[in-house]
Every structure is written in structure tokens, then in C-alpha cells.
A and B are shown apart, each in its own frame.
Chain A
Amino acid sequence: MSCEPLSDKLTGYLDGELDPRSIGEVEAHLRQCVPCATRLERERRLRLAVQSQLKPMEAPDQLRKSVRAAIRAEVKPAPGRRVWIPTWAATAAALVLGLAGGWQLATLRGSRSVGSELATEVIAGHVRSLQGQHLTDIGSSEHHTVKPWFAGKLDFSPPVPDFSTQGFPLTGGRLDYLGERQVAALVYRRRQHVINLFVWPGGDSAAAPSTISRRGYQIVHGAAGGMAYWAVSDLNATELAQFAQLTAAELSGKPSGP
């Protein structure tokens, strides 16, 4: 047999991954072909170098902790157990079933169970925006372009703050649906992390912002200037809190309006 068809098999031979017949072929060839025997020896040395020098890495403690926390966060109490179904229909249906309708976001912001339901929706909205091709309906880093895009699509005019100088560049915006109403979703970035900022009229501007950490995602929500806002990202809590502070300042300092 010539050298070329044997080329890959030398590797399999070295790794002990060949069937007996191929082993016979390779060994017969090696007895009469010095270049292939030399190549095998060189590959053996290379493999030894790789195996001895490159060891499996150890996952950082922080990662181990957050994975463990994510596993624990998946545990739901048996009765009210909900399955994670990332579709609007399912989420909306679950909401209707779970809440029997008729609640107002503004008045129930302090309620833990409703806040928790909404947090689930916010995370679902965030994940969905990343999984599909539907992160933005209007992709632009220019808030003067994004803000007019919402005109006529919502029953309110959402503020579109520009945080590019603070290191949170705007990526775009889209319409989304949360808590049984249409909301504005503004998309920002911090390094490779995407932040979804959901905004709609309402909320208690006097209440302090709340932080939720779940499934590896961080949420900060609050209200300012007559607007409720929910920021969600896989960004770390500190930086997302900073983002939320900027948002709250912007909302209260420059009340929404055309």
C-alpha cells in the first residue's frame, strides 16, 4: 500500500484506535517505508509533548459557585411548579392561569409572587431575544433613530437614553410583551453582554429599586419619572446596578415625552 491512503491511519494506529485488519496493513507498510516510520515517531513525540504540557484546566471557583447556584435555582416547589417554555403563548397562558388576570403592575410591584412571575417573563423575554434572530426590530446605536421608531407603535413614548459614554452603547429597540401589555424593549451592550431594558408607564417611583438574581441572570427593576423599568442581563450584578442607576437618573431627570 502506498503512503497517502495510510496517512490518517498512522494517527489511528498511534492512538490504538484501529481495527485489527487496519493495524495489519499499517504494520506491513511501516516495515518497508522509512519515511512513514519516521513520521509515526515524530507524531508520537508531538503527542507526548501535547499530553505532558497541556493539562485540563481547573474551572474558577466563581464559576463553580454560580453553576451550583443555577442548579439550585431550578428547583421549584412541587405545587406551583412551572415548566420553562420560551414562547409568548405559553408564558401568557401561564400568567393568565397563575394570576387569574386582573392585576395591575403598578400596584403589585411590591408583591413577591407577582414580581417573581414578572421576573420569569423578563428572563424569558431576554433569553428569547438572544436565541432567535429577533434581538432588535430597529437596529441602531443612535437614540435619535430608535426613539422615533416607537412612535405610533405603543400607547406611550418610551425614553431612549444614550449611555454610550458610560460604556453601555445602545444596540437598538423592539416591541415586546410583558405583564399583559406591550412594552418598549431597548437593547444595550456591555462588552459582549446584552442588556434588555424593558420600559412602560407605571410603577411607584418612590420605592427603591429591587434586584433579583436567578438562573444566572441579573435583574434590576424600579420606577422613575412615571416609568417602570426592568433591566435584565447576564452581566454581573455590580455593573447592571450601575446601568439601572443611570436609567433611573435619566428617567427622573428627563421625563418621557416626544
Chain B
Amino acid sequence: MDAATAARFEKTALPHLDAAYTLARHLLRNEHDAEDVVQDAFLRAIRHFDGYRGGDMRAWLLTIVRHTCYSWLRRHRPESQATEFDDEVHDIPTAATDPESEMLRGALRDALDQAIANLPLEFREIVILRDVQGLSYAEIAEVAGIPVGTVMSRLSRARQRLQRVLPIEDYRRN
């Protein structure tokens, strides 16, 4: 890679480092692993930069980050590759909530973190890409390599599940 190409890569790719890190953090649920994987993903991106034909750099990078996360998970946590979205299995018991004392902002944040971390991987990534990173369905379809219709149905099911485990009705007042 010549200096001009490296400079171009740095200018176009580095601004998406936070997005890359955010996705990896949510997929791996560990900050050190996320750092390792993002570093690795950027190395891959640099080496495949020749194959980048313009277009959405963020989606292109997130595709590589996601792929690197999945490879990492296959290698280090083979048991995490949940394939079925089984509400019976994945539902966690919701703690009894007292609207007057527990419905604080911090509690909502913690409950959300917990609920999202408990979503199966292929549903969690859609929620993160959409509601945290703000990607369009078409961009998510590109990153995750699935049809737009599947993006919509997974997002729908993920949000339904989050509603079940989070007493959003009560949090509304805050």
C-alpha cells in the first residue's frame, strides 16, 4: 500500500472506528475482546481496501467487523452460536419491579443493557445496527448479508421480546 492509499484509508475508515467498536462490543459483550477484534477487522479492511469500490464506507467496514466477530466467536465461544430464536429458552425471568422505587433512569439503562445482551446474536445485531447505530434496513441487509424482509422480521421479533422483559409502560413516566 502506498502512502496516498494509506492516507485515504485513514481518512475514510477511521471516522467509523466508534461504530465498529460499538458493534463489536455488543456482539462479543466484552471490551477487551472487542478491541482485539476491531483491530483485526481493520487490518483485514486495510488489506481488502483494493476491493472497496466506493459506496457506503461505514456499511463496508461494519460488514468486515461483523464477519470478524462471528469468526472470533466460532473459534473462542462455539457455544454462543445460537441459531434458533426460542422464546421459551431465552426468556429470562423479569425481576419484580416496584414502579415507585426502581423506575429510575439508571435502572432502565441497566435493564436494557441486560435485555439486549440476552438477545440471541442474530437479533441483537439488528437492534444495535438499527436503533443504536441508525442504519437503514437496506444497509443492515448489506452488513448482515440477509434480505431486507428478514431484517424487518428479526427487528420486529427482537423488539417484541424486549418489550416482554422490560416494563416500558412503567418507565414512561421518567
- On A, residues with C-beta under 8 Å from B are 7-12, 15, 17, 42-43, 45-47, 49-51, 53-60, 62-64, 66-68, 70-72, 74-76, 78, 81, 84, 192-193, 215-216, 234
Contacts and interface: CB of A to CB of B under 8 A. Distances in A.
A47 B130 CA distance: 10
Contact of B155 (A11, A71, A78): A11
Interface in B25-74: 25, 31, 33, 35-36, 38-40, 42-43, 46-47
Contacts of A53: 108-109, 112
A158 B149 CA distance: 56
A67 B14 contact: yes
Given A47-B159, A56-B18, A59-B18, A74 B132 contact: no
B91 interface: no
B6 to A, nearest CB: 5
7 contacts: A11-B152, A45-B168, A51-B132, A56-B22, A57-B25, A58-B18, A68-B14
Contacts of B130: 15
A5 to B, nearest CB: 11
A134 B42 CA distance: 23
Interface of B: 1-3, 6, 9-10, 14, 17-22, 25, 31, 33, 35-36, 38-40, 42-43, 46-47, 76, 108-109, 112-113, 116, 127-128, 130-133, 136-137, 148-149, 152-153, 155-156, 159-160, 162-163, 166, 168-169, 171-172
The 4 closest A-B pairs by CB, nearest first: A11-B156, A59-B21, A50-B131, A8-B153
Contact of B36 (A42, A51, A234): A234
A70 B39 contact: yes
B159 A54 contact: no
What is the predominant secondary structure among interface residues of chain B facing chain A? helix
A215 B17 CA distance: 17
Residue from B31, B113, B130 whose CB has the most chain A CB atoms within 10 Å: B130
Given A56-B133, A57-B25, A62-B35, A49 B47 contact: no
Nearest to A50: B131
B99 to A, nearest CB: 15
Nearest to B137: A17
B160 to A, nearest CB: 8
B39 A67 contact: yes
Contact of A56 (B10, B39, B132, B148): B132
B108 to A, nearest CB: 6
Contacts of A10: 156
Given A49-B168, A53-B112, A54-B132, A63 B38 contact: yes
B17 A12 contact: no
A55 B112 CA distance: 12
Contacts of B127: 50
A74 to B, nearest CB: 4
B46 to A, nearest CB: 5
B132 A42 contact: no
